[in-house]
Amino acid sequence: MDKKTIAIAAILGATGIMLGAFGAHGLKKLIEPEQIATFDTGVKYQIYHALFLLFVGATSMLTEKAKKTILTLTTIGVFFFSGSIYFLSCNSLFSFDFKTIGFITPVGGLLLICAWVVLFLQIMKRKQ
């Protein structure tokens, strides 16, 4: 599980950096500065959660079940939250209106919060 968690963290980190560079350079002439700022929010949360998963994969303070739960919540949460933000911020570039699936952004955010809550609960119930 640790290898898988750290591998997914690396993928999220690498793609986050690529998307950040694309947002800063490739989208500059295509979308408005406000939309680029929105895109950047998705990048930041993706990078934050890549680092979160690195910690989860490297710590011995969590059970394997908790690690699996956190990995699942975080991966789906980043996909929903950051992924929808990427598409919503670039909505003007597509013929499909991504506002119709905008409801998944808060669902992704809730999943990310749940991952952090699982971490908190596991640490609190851990015996010294």
Tell how far CA 81 is from the center of its chain. 6
- The answer to whether 112 and 84 have CB atoms below 8 angstroms apart is no
φ, ψ of residue 59 in degrees (nearest 5):
-85, 150
pTM over 0.75: yes
The DSSP call for residue 30 is: T
- d(CA 30, CA 27) in angstroms, rounded, equals 5
Q: Which of 113, 2, 122 is nearest to 58 (CA)?
A: 2
pLDDT of amino acid 19? 96
Residue-wise pLDDT tens digits, 49-97: 999 999 999 999 999 999 999 999 999 999 999 999 999 999 888 888 8
What are the pLDDT digits (tens) for 84-118?
999 999 988 888 888 888 899 999 999 999 999 99
